[in-house]
Structure 1
């Protein structure tokens, strides 16, 4: 018999044993070591059925109404999709909020969104128990069919976007890429030239690593200029 050795939302450190036995499955931030499930980082424990995950303390996304997020479809039922948005619990996208078109019950939902598809969605509602409802109805909300999705610390997203969108505009102008920054820390980059797409990714990671520094805009301009000349 497996046994949970920690409490829900308990703070754990790398190497802490979260559960013993083979009844539980490690996911994000955890791994199996023989008979035990062990934390790989400093964070908060979340348990959903047999699944155990650890979310990093410095990167926990707290969903809010009207947030634009980039999510990954993790499961589906006959009437909805479950979407991983980087929070402890999956968000729900219902049939009525998935499309402006009418979707009949019993329709093949995989023709709209399949497991592991990425989508750009908006948080429609967050209730008191932090259950999240999403919508795909709105400008720019879509299924992602090309490009790259990367993940950064959610708290660094405002630095990537910049004042009035200035920083993300700088990257777009220098790379020719489409960029959508989800408030949950996932960012979609789509470029027609692979090298420019990689440069945009590098610039965003550079901003994340140097977000605490002043004069960041000039640093990014210099980095983009040097990389473009290579």
Structure 2
């Protein structure tokens, strides 16, 4: 139940991780017909693509990233958003789905509010701007925020969203996962506690094989011990 099966190998920079029949993915490079790790991390091979998932690390924003952010300051025509990177990112009034008059920003978003947005730009010195001008973007009302290592976000999401779909389906929580390592959960108190514990299990056991089944067993066991089922 706790994912104590075989684990994915950990590789070091410069270690050979693949041959000519495979394609280099994130965290690797190709040289002389072989593929090598470019960072310390967990070796992953899927559909002929070899990748190295970093064991830990801070969030490095990239254009198009989905982020869960928190408003930390307000100006007359913009907000500053904490996106779990070294500096807050501006969100301009023209980048939200509302018509905001100059000086009226606090009526729409205030300090402490959580949002789901996207990174709109990253310049050469890593200054970041964010936008809410996409169908998925929204203000996140209520709920709670959970932080995980940004390096573990792909494992939390799973292949084609399979892992996080499992958690949402069994807990009936609404969950948004930001690539910046911030996760927003909303549901009943009991369901959100179980969902948060499942996400922590994924983060802690990210390198284990058979993790999906371990998470499923954990969730089913949690509800059996709670003598109830996920709230509808």
SS of the aligned residue for 1:119 comes to strand
CA shift for structure 1 position 111:
1.1
SS of the aligned residue for 2:197 comes to helix
CA shift for structure 1 position 139:
1.6
Aligned to 1:118: 114
CA shift for structure 1 position 110:
1.2
Counterparts of 1:154 and 1:62, CA distance in 2: 9
| 2:191 paired with 1:196 | yes
**When the two structures are superposed, what TM-score results if normalisation uses the length of structure 2?**
0.71
* 1:34-49 equivalence runs, <5 A: none
| 2:227 paired with 1:216 | no
Which portions of structure 1, spanning 4 or more consecutive aligned residues, are displaced by more than 4 angstroms? none
Q: 1:184 aligns with which of 180, 185, 190?
A: 180
CA deviation digits over 1:84-128, x for unaligned, max 9? 1010111010010022x3212122x11111111111111111111
* 1:159-170 equivalence runs, <5 A: 159-170=155-166
Aligned to 1:151: 147
SS of the aligned residue for 2:175 comes to strand
Counterparts of 2:197 and 2:56, CA distance in 1: 21
In terms of mean alpha carbon deviation, does 65-74 or 138-147 score higher?
A: 138-147
Aligned to 1:135: 131
| 2:101 paired with 1:104 | yes
CA RMSD in angstroms comes to 1.2
SS of the aligned residue for 1:229 comes to helix
Aligned to 1:86: 84
| 2:153 paired with 1:174 | no
> What is the aligned length?
171
Counterparts of 2:212 and 2:160, CA distance in 1: 13
Aligned to 2:59: 61
Aligned to 2:230: none
Counterparts of 1:61 and 1:188, CA distance in 2: 17
SS of the aligned residue for 1:58 comes to coil
CA shift for structure 1 position 187:
0.5
CA shift for structure 1 position 145:
1.0
SS of the aligned residue for 2:56 comes to helix
Counterparts of 2:95 and 2:177, CA distance in 1: 21
* 1:2-17 equivalence runs, <5 A: none
**When the two structures are superposed, what TM-score results if normalisation uses the length of structure 1?**
0.72
